[in-house]
């Protein structure tokens, strides 16, 4: 398979815009030049990357798979260029931050504050669950990650900056909503809405229940905090979530916090990067910014 980096760039742009014309505009090429690059790539690969249905184009299964590789290769190229800039003593002013989905509830404010103080910095933010975030770190994609406690067996430098209390939530009409110090044993028939596998919140919840010899019943598994909160509001069951994710719903009394013995489960948020990674001055200053914001308790 002989494909060029230029072909991958063109293919990525067409996949993102789902249009040869718009990709051509973006890349300052003519539309036939874009089609030609894609055709050449398809003939090297031996499979079509796109299919046309009516007036629209769609990625084929092969195109979908190739897109993941194309993006990885392009991220590596960018990382290589930035590392070379670093070695020349130049700072690209770019900052790639990966955050666990639960961090999103406060990280956007943090990034906005940082961007206000550093208007020249171009920030890209990748929001994903813990497991995918770890694989991004493994692939050396982000400069910095904001996440739950990193696994000890990964070569990361990490420092904690803020509490992450996990609480149990219920719909406001839950019969135990006003009780104090509820033992888990008072919830034997309770059903739980749980996060997808790969979520750090879910791992922590399962560890807590296992430590307490409490076997929970799963009513539904949902992707992301928003879906879990809506599931609880809709009466699908209880859930364990980070307190950061439900501040509004608790204030508006759309959800209630159950006062369960042993909870909140106290976790911490960490700022992490790969050991040996050369942090650019921009990344170092963002790292300091996060640690200071955590110390002030303003994040």
Residue 11 or 208: the one with the smaller Cβ distance to ligand PGA is 208
Residue 29 or 100: the one with the smaller Cβ distance to ligand PGA is 100
Beta bridge partners of 272: 145, 158
Residue nearest to ligand PGA (CB): 200
Least CB distance to ligand PGA at residue 113 (A): 21
Binding mask 117-136 for ligand PGA (x = CB under 6 A): ------------xx------
Cα-flanking dihedrals φ and ψ of residue 23, to 5°?
-65, -40
CB-based contact 294:162 (threshold 8 Å): yes
User: CB under 6 A: which stretch of 136-144, 199-207, 212-220, 250-258 binds ligand PGA?
Assistant: 199-207
The span from the CA of 143 to the CA of 185, in Å, is 44
Binding mask 84-113 for ligand PGA (x = CB under 6 A): ----------------xxx-----------
Least CB distance to ligand PGA at residue 263 (A): 15
Burial 129-150 (b: 16+ CB within 10 A, else e): bbebbbebbeeebbbbbbbbbb
User: In the set 34, 38, 42, 148, which binds ligand PGA (CB under 6 A)?
Assistant: 148
Helix, strand, coil % over all residues of the chain, rounded to 5: 45, 25, 30
User: In the set 15, 199, 219, 299, which binds ligand PGA (CB under 6 A)?
Assistant: 199
Least CB distance to ligand PGA at residue 294 (A): 16
Is 229 a residue that touches ligand PGA (CB under 6 A)?
Answer: no
Is 201 a residue that touches ligand PGA (CB under 6 A)?
Answer: yes
Is 147 a residue that touches ligand PGA (CB under 6 A)?
Answer: yes
The DSSP output letter for 185 is G
Residue 96 or 130: the one with the smaller Cβ distance to ligand PGA is 130
Closest CA to 260 of 172, 183, 190, 201: 183
Q: Structure tokens of 254? A: 């759309």
CB-based contact 123:255 (threshold 8 Å): no
Residue 11 or 270: the one with the smaller Cβ distance to ligand PGA is 270
Is 245 a residue that touches ligand PGA (CB under 6 A)?
Answer: no
Closest CA to 282 of 115, 57, 81: 115
User: CB under 6 A: which stretch of 56-64, 108-116, 195-203, 279-287 binds ligand PGA?
Assistant: 195-203
| Element housing 56 (H / E) | strand 56-59
Residue 201 or 219: the one with the smaller Cβ distance to ligand PGA is 201
CB-based contact 269:103 (threshold 8 Å): yes
Distances (CA, A) of 89 to 63, 75, 84, 106, 252: 38, 21, 9, 32, 51
Rule CB under 6 A: which residues touch ligand PGA? 100-102, 129-130, 147-148, 195, 199-201
């Amino acid at each position: 398979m002989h494909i060029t980096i230029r072909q991958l760039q063109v293919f990525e742009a067409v996949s993102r815009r789902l249009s040869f014309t718009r990709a051509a505009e973006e890349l300052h090429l003519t539309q036939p030049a874009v089609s030609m690059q894609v055709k050449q790539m398809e003939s090297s690969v031996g499979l079509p990357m796109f299919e046309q249905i009516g007036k629209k184009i769609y990625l084929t299964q092969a195109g979908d798979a190739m897109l993941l590789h194309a993006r990885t290769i392009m991220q590596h190229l960018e990382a290589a260029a930035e590392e070379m800039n670093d070695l020349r003593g130049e700072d690209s002013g770019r900052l790639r931050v990966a955050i666990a989905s639960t961090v999103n509830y406060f990280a956007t404010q943090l990034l906005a504050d940082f961007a206000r103080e550093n208007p020249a910095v171009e920030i890209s933010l990748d929001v994903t669950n813990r497991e995918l975030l770890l694989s991004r770190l493994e692939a050396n994609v982000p400069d910095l990650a904001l996440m739950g406690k990193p696994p000890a067996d990964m070569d990361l430098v990490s420092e904690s900056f803020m509490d992450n209390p996990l609480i149990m939530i219920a719909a406001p009409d839950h019969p135990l909503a006003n009780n104090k110090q509820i033992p888990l044993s008072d919830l034997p028939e309770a059903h739980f809405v749980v996060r997808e596998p790969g979520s750090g919140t879910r791992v922590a919840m399962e560890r807590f229940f296992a430590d307490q010899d409490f076997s929970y019943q799963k009513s539904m598994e949902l992707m992301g905090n928003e879906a879990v909160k809506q599931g609880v509001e809709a009466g699908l069951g209880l859930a364990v979530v980070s307190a950061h994710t439900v501040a509004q719903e608790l204030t508006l009394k759309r959800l209630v916090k159950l006062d369960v013995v042993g909870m909140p489960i106290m976790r911490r948020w960490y700022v992490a990067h790969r050991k040996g990674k050369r942090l650019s001055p921009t990344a170092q200053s963002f790292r300091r910014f996060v640690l200071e914001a955590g110390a002030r308790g303003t994040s």
